[in-house]
């Protein structure tokens, strides 16, 4: 073995700069932070808000309305009408919660909407609103342009209220049929009364005429007996007419009450139908807002392990620079 044989050089530089150490530490710290399930989950999932707008817990699918997945068996399959009730939910992450909350409220009112509930704090915001269906698309376009898509989560669900509409239509048919029957029954009572009165009045008129004729004749015992018989019959007919009028008044009152009930029923069903149409024409929505840190913002732009990878790459490049600058051991 010769004395001048080459000695292998170490890969480690004579001096490691603080920049390399800092990059290496940042890579390790960011890797540990991202590896934590709670931190990763907190960064990517929306937060559910309670009635006061304060977050209660995190869970996937917050503020989603889940309609009944089973169709109503009473609705025939060939009825393809749609009465969709839309539920809208948006979750926004922002650095200015209170400012964005005010902007959301102004936008809702600007599109003819109504705010039912709102809360705002430096950390969290919440707006519960109702909006006309006709302005829903334009409203969504403007609202969802407030933040970048990375900072926005939108949940939309809709439910076809056709089964309710069909039920109301059945009630409308029943109400119309009942009202028609009530009116027909009343008319029947009126016609029967008119016929009975006409018959009784004809008999009364005939008796009055006969009575006048008898009284004009010589008052023999036979004539007097006839006069008494006709008078008794006339009195009986007048009692029958009075009873008919009293019975008619009672029946007519009952018939009018039935008609009023039918009209009230029909009006109630029409009101129910209009309420359903108004409900369909209104979008129910919520907008939840949460303050986002710079770290969470970075995770949105660089998801997964990109951040520790970048820091590790920078640390390695700085390490190579240290080797060239200070030499190796």
Buried b (16+ CB within 10 A) or exposed e, 146-165: bbeeebbbebeeebbbbbbb
**With 90 as the cut, is the pLDDT of residue 301 above it?**
no
Categorize the per-residue pLDDT at 1 as very low, low, confident or very high, splitting at 50, 70 and 90.
very low
* CA angle, 261 then 274 then 169, to 5°: 65
Position 219 scores a pLDDT of 79
Q: Tell me the HSE value of 42 on the side-chain side, using a 13 A CA sphere.
A: 13
Q: Strand, helix or coil at 121?
A: coil
Structure tokens at 124: 């969290």
Categorize the per-residue pLDDT at 231 as very low, low, confident or very high, splitting at 50, 70 and 90.
confident
Phi then psi for 177, rounded to 5 degrees? Answer: -65, -40
Give the residue extent of every domain in the chain.
41-164+280-306, 171-278
CA 126 to chain centre: 18
Q: Looking at the DSSP assignment, which residues form a beta bridge with residue 90? A: 154, 287
Position 46 scores a pLDDT of 45
Sign of torsion over alpha carbons 134, 135, 138, 143: negative
Output the pTM of the full model.
0.64
Q: What gap in Å lies between CA 189 and CA 166, rounded to an integer?
A: 35
Q: What gap in Å lies between CA 43 and CA 152, rounded to an integer?
A: 13
Specify the higher pLDDT residue, 180 or 217.
180
Q: What one-character DSSP code corresponds to residue 273?
A: H
**With 50 as the cut, is the pLDDT of residue 142 above it?**
yes
* CA angle, 39 then 42 then 47, to 5°: 165
- Name the least confident of 65-69, 114-118, 266-270: 65-69
* DSSP element (H, E) containing 153: strand 152-160
| Average pLDDT score over residue span 240-247 | 93
| Average pLDDT score over residue span 189-195 | 94
Q: Looking at the DSSP assignment, which residues form a beta bridge with residue 328? A: 13
Given a contact cutoff of 8 angstroms between Cβ atoms, the answer to whether 83 and 280 are in contact is yes
- Name the least confident of 81-85, 247-251, 265-269, 324-328: 324-328
Q: Tell me the average pLDDT of the chain.
A: 82
Position 322 scores a pLDDT of 67
Given a contact cutoff of 8 angstroms between Cβ atoms, the answer to whether 172 and 273 are in contact is yes
Categorize the per-residue pLDDT at 270 as very low, low, confident or very high, splitting at 50, 70 and 90.
very high
Beta strand 114-120 pairing with 124-132? antiparallel
pLDDT tens readout for residues 13-33: 666 777 777 877 776 776 776
Specify the higher pLDDT residue, 274 or 31.
274
| Average pLDDT score over residue span 214-219 | 81
Specify the higher pLDDT residue, 309 or 322.
309
Given a contact cutoff of 8 angstroms between Cβ atoms, the answer to whether 156 and 89 are in contact is yes
- From the list 12, 2, 6, the residue with the least C-alpha distance to 326 is 12
Q: Give the end-to-end CA distance of the chain in Å, rounded to a whole number.
A: 23
| Average pLDDT score over residue span 165-178 | 93
**With 90 as the cut, is the pLDDT of residue 286 above it?**
yes
pLDDT tens readout for residues 78-125: 888 999 999 999 999 999 999 999 999 999 999 999 999 999 999 999
Given a contact cutoff of 8 angstroms between Cβ atoms, the answer to whether 48 and 57 are in contact is yes
Position 178 scores a pLDDT of 94
**With 50 as the cut, is the pLDDT of residue 177 above it?**
yes
- pLDDT above 90 covers what percent of the chain? 53
Q: Tell me the HSE value of 173 on the side-chain side, using a 13 A CA sphere.
A: 5
Which residues fall within 8 angstroms of residue 250, CB to CB, at 6 or more apart? none
């Amino acid at each position: 073995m010769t004395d001048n044989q080459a000695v292998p050089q170490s890969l480690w530089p004579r001096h490691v700069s603080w920049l390399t150490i800092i990059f290496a530490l940042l890579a390790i710290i960011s890797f540990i932070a991202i590896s934590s399930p709670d931190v990763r989950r907190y960064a990517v999932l929306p937060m559910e808000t309670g009635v006061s707008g304060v977050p209660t817990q995190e869970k996937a699918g917050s503020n989603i309305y889940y309609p009944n997945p089973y169709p109503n068996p009473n609705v025939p399959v060939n009825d393809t009408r749609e009465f969709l009730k839309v539920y809208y939910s948006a979750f926004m992450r922002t650095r200015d919660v209170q400012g964005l909350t005010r902007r959301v409220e102004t936008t809702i009112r600007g599109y003819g909407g109504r705010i039912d509930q709102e809360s705002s704090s430096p950390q969290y915001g919440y707006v519960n609103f109702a909006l006309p269906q006709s302005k829903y698309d334009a409203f969504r376009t403007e609202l969802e342009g407030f933040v970048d898509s990375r900072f926005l989560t939108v949940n939309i669900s809709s439910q076809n209220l056709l089964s309710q509409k069909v039920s109301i239509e059945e009630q409308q048919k029943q109400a119309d049929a009942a009202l028609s029957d009530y009116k027909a029954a009343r008319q029947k009572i009126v016609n029967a009364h008119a016929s009975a009165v006409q018959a009784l009045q004809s008999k009364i008129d005939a008796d009055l005429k006969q009575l006048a004729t008898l009284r004009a004749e010589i008052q023999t015992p036979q004539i007097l007996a006839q006069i008494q018989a006709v008078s008794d019959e006339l009195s009986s007919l007048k009692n029958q007419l009075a009873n008919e009028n009293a019975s008619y008044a009672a029946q007519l009152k009952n018939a009018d009450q039935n008609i009023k009930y039918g009209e009230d029923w029909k009006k109630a069903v029409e009101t129910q139908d209009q309420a359903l149409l108004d409900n369909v024409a209104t979008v129910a929505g919520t907008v939840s807002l949460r303050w986002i840190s710079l770290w969470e913002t970075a995770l949105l732009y660089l998801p997964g392990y990109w951040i520790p990878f970048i820091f590790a790459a920078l640390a390695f490049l700085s390490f190579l620079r240290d080797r060239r600058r200070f030499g190796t051991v």
